[in-house]
Amino acid sequence: MFTINPFSELSQLIPFLVMQVFVVVMIMLVVAGTLMDIVHKKNVKYFFENANRAKKLATNNVNIGKKTSIVLKTVASDVLTTSELAGKRRIAHLFGMYGTVIFWVTSVIMIFNYSTPQSSTPYILPLLWHLGAIMTCIGGYWFWFFLRVDVSAEGNPWYRVVKADLFVLSLVVTATFGLAWSYFQTAGKSGWDTLFLVLFILSNLVLFGGVYWSKFAHMFYKPGAAMQKNLAEADGSRDNLPIPADKPKQYGLGIKREAPRHY
C-alpha cells in the first residue's frame, strides 16, 4: 500500500488528463476563493492601510539589509516553526502543516508525472504521500479532539462545529478518505475503494471550494501579518500605534484599580 501510487492505478478507470484537469480546477477554486475573501472581507486593504499608518509613525530607520533579515527570521520562526504556539498545540500544528504540504506536493507530482499505468513511480513518492496524509490526520485529530480552544476553555463538545471549523475538518477528512481509498484499492476491495474514492473527491471539493467560507485564506495572510508586526517593532511604529478603544484587554489594559490605601 505505502509504495503504490494510487493515481497510477486509478488511471485504469479515470483518464490521467481528467485527474490533471481536476487539480487545475482545485487551484483555480483556491485563487477565486482567496480573491473573493480579499474583496468582501477587505483583509488586504486593512493590511496595507495599517502598514502605511505604521510607516508614518516609525521612529527608527531600518535599512534594506535589516528588513531582509527580519523577513527571513520571520519565515524561519513564525512560518516554518510556528514559534508563536507552544507545547502540544505547536506539535499538532507542525504535524498538520508539514503533513499537508507533503500530501499536496506529492499528489501533484504523481498526478502530473506518474499517473499512467505505464509509468514507473519512484517508491519514495507514494511513501511520502501516505506519510503526509498520516501526519495530517495525527495533527488534525489531535487538535480537534484535545486541543481546541472551545473544548479546553469553554467545555464545548468536540462535535460542536461552526463555519470556522470547515478548513481543518475538510482537510483531515480528505486525508482520511485518501488513506482509506488507497487501502481498499490495494486490498482489491471492489466497491469500498470506489466509495472512498468518491468521498475523497467530494472532500477535496469542499476543502478547495470552501476557501471563502473557511480559514483556508488565512494561510496567505498570516505570514504577511507576522512580517508586518516584526518590521513595526524594529522601526518603532508599533509602540506608537493608537490603542483600539474596543480592544483594551488585548493591549494589557483593563479595569483601572486604585492603589491600596494604608491607614
Q: How far apart are the first and last CA of the chain?
A: 79
Quote the pTM value: 0.76
Total count of residues recorded for the chain = 263
Predicted local distance difference test score (pLDDT) of residue 44: 64
> Residue 251 and residue 247: Cα distance in Å, rounded?
7
How far is it, in rounded angstroms, from Cα 42 to Cα 214? 15
Residues 174-209 have pLDDT tens digits of: 999 999 999 999 998 888 999 999 999 999 999 999
Please say if the pLDDT value at position 150 is more than 60.
Answer: no
User: Tens digits of per-residue pLDDT, 120-130?
Assistant: 889 899 999 99
Top pLDDT among 153 and 213 is at: 213
Residue pLDDT, tens place only, 77-136? 777 887 777 788 889 989 999 999 999 999 999 999 988 776 788 989 999 999 999 999
Per residue in 17-48, pLDDT tens?
Answer: 999 999 999 999 999 988 887 777 666 666 66
Structural domain boundaries of the chain?
6-40+85-229
**Please, which pLDDT band fits residue 247 given cuts at 50, 70 and 90?**
very low
- CATH architecture of the domain with range 6-40+85-229: Up-down Bundle (1.20)
Measured CA to CA, the distance from residue 155 to residue 168 in angstroms comes to 20
